[in-house]
Amino acid sequence: MTVVALLLPAPLAASAAAASPGAPDESRPVYSYDRAVRESVWVDTGIDGDGDGRADRVAVDVVRPREPAEQGRRVPVVMDASPYYSCCGRGNESQKKTYDAQGNPVQFPLYYDNFFVPRGYAVVLVDLAGTNRSDGCVDIGGRSDIASAKAVVDWLNGRARGYASRTGRAAARADWSTGAVGMIGKSYDGTIANGVAATGVPGLRTIVPIGAISSWYDYYFAQGAALFGSGPDALADRVESPAARGRCQAVQRALADGAPRNGDWTPLWSERDYLKDARKVRASVFAVHGMQDLNVRTKHFGQWWDALAGQGVERKVWLSQAGHVDPFDFRRESWVTALHRWFDHYLMGYDNGVEREPMADIERAPGQWTTDRVWPPRATAPTTLRPAPGPAPGVGSLGTRAAPAGAVESFTDDPRLDESDWASRVDETTPAKAGFTTPPLTADLRLSGSSTVRLTVTPSTASAHLSAVLVDLGPAVIRDYAASGEGIRTLADRTCWGSGTTGDSGCFQRTEADTASVAHTVFSRGWADLGHHAGLSHGGPLTPGRPYTITLGLAATDHVVPAGHRLALIVAGTDARLVEPASTTPRVTVDLAGGEASLPFVGGSRAFARATRHSDPAYERPGAPLNGLRPPAPALLR
């Protein structure tokens, strides 16, 4: 079949495509999708998580082109391991797996199968242990979750056992696989990709984590402060199959007992911290994250990116203005093209230059993107800014000069208020926050990376939560990340991305940017429980009237504060809807002389000096509140 021969087999495709004049530089849709092999396999994980006396088997649904198998050729694998295929669905349309009367897979959620199978890839969708048709128990990013997916990578490489049924003994072998695997997924799915990569499993060539967690503690807590929502046991109950709920009660109790809501770091969190094993990562990483993702905050991306930086891992990143949104829904055509080239290079071996292209794509305004050769840019350097008193209580300045000894600001925690309330009245004396602003900038000022804020504070009660947020004070049109679509609007018409069948069309509802006009934008946040000032291992009550020093880590970002706008640092207590309040509502006194913020300016201190050189320190502050977006209510991780 000459048309099929246009797609060269991996891994030989790279050398052949590079060496042969006129050879294709990308995989082409030359294989039949409707004739593709669709099958289910159960892979032995080697773990008896549900305690039934036999090793758990996880269900693996496979769709792969038939023609290569008929020719004795093998194909690489795009793999998405998820707990959501039956409970909640995947993608903007919440697609679930479907099966025919004989139990054979019909619909594979998302577009991966429709697009990649005709191009010579297999697509493998894994039900994590305890979900859908798999044995075992969900353990929320722990040993069982990661082993579920790792075992499938091993099976695809001939190192694990697979079976043709859930309980039978007939073997199923992946003799059609080259062993080259790329894991992809949003949210929980991308988190599993991070965790499997951190095992260093051979055969995993690349991962594409989208809005993914790098350490589960940081999903449920922020430096000891409980984030809104329930614990990991509740998430396990949500995603587990009905059968698993009955047999996995002991695992759920262990999740609840191991994750107390007091914010202490426990062994449960150590097991679910992938950062500590970043040195084992050998797969390339194409990370995607919404800079306004308040579900899986960009702290997860930032610390994962930094941990991989010294390991020689090839990396790429897209940072959008959206919230917890898949790039298929905010930059569809460019995303599918970029992902295609990424998988072609790392899984099929095409020398298409993708690894030599700019490392970062950053969304500056809805639908407007810039690129950086390296991220953060090499000119980025931490610069220390200091809060100082201003013209009125709680209305201070932010600059390079330290406040005089004895200078203080105070606020009283008000759990009813959030970052938008604080920012909208940053130029007014209000009881619940202390705000510090630069004068209007005379040049653009870009922050790229993670920030820290070091504070010495004195609480009036035995408990206190702190928030620190960075704000761009000035008008802008941004994605409406606080709306239900978190920055996108879903339309009625559809576009098709690959081939389809009656049961799996490959056509998806189109989207567009959902925008809002604002007068301020909160672009980075950090929270902490002051009772954990000495570390996360054990928090405790505070002594009222005693000063404590703590450093808050703020989430990674890439934001340009334009000329004419002001940069603000706001310090306050509970950030409503995002952080659970402390047991008391203290009055907190901030020692300004001991406070400082380390901010990652592109151009370092010189860039800040240039942007503030001709500013009038006696500028007139606006009198009216500045409107912004209110943080959305907590959402399910998906």
Catalytic residue among 82, 144, 177, 187: 187
| Cβ proximity of 110 and 332 under 8 Å | no
413 in catalytic set: no
Alpha-carbon Rg for the chain in angstroms: 26
Reduced to 3 states, what is the DSSP secondary structure of residue 400? coil
Does an H or E element contain 123, and which?
Answer: strand 122-127
Catalytic residue among 44, 218, 293, 372: 293
Of 242, 178, 175, 196, the residue nearest 39 (C-alpha) = 175
According to DSSP, the residues that pair with 379 across neighbouring strands are none
Of 540, 607, 533, 539, the residue nearest 567 (C-alpha) = 607
In 344-479, which ranges are continuous DSSP H helix?
419-424
Residue type, 471: V
Residue type, 74: R
In 88-137, which ranges are continuous DSSP H helix?
112-116
Backbone torsions φ then ψ of 515, nearest 5 degrees: -115, 165
Q: What sign does the dihedral 270-276-280-284 (CA atoms) show? A: positive
Residue type, 303: Q
Catalytic residue among 300, 324, 533, 565: 324
Residue type, 187: S
| Cβ proximity of 336 and 208 under 8 Å | no
According to DSSP, the residues that pair with 98 across neighbouring strands are 107
Cα 623 to Cα 638: distance, rounded to the nearest angstrom:
41
Torsion-angle region of residue 221: left (phi > 0), alpha (psi -120 to 50) or beta?
A: beta
Cα 301 to Cα 295: distance, rounded to the nearest angstrom:
12
Cα 554 to Cα 451: distance, rounded to the nearest angstrom:
5
Cβ count near 28 (within 10 Å): 13
| Cβ proximity of 141 and 273 under 8 Å | no
Reduced to 3 states, what is the DSSP secondary structure of residue 190? helix
CA dist list (Å): 367 to 81, 293, 362, 479, 601: 30, 17, 10, 9, 24
E strands, 45-100, where? 57-64, 75-82, 98-99
Residue type, 584: T
Q: What sign does the dihedral 109-115-118-120 (CA atoms) show? A: negative
Cα 587 to Cα 412: distance, rounded to the nearest angstrom:
4
| Cβ proximity of 96 and 122 under 8 Å | no
187 in catalytic set: yes
E strands, 176-259, where? 177-186, 204-210, 221-222, 225-226
What tokens were used for 205? 């060539």
Cα 51 to Cα 48: distance, rounded to the nearest angstrom:
5
Pairing of β 162-163 and β 177-186: unpaired
Cα 27 to Cα 25: distance, rounded to the nearest angstrom:
7
What count of residues does the chain have? 638
Q: What angle do CA 26, 150, 29 make, to 5 degrees?
A: 20
Residues marked active site are found at 187, 293, 324
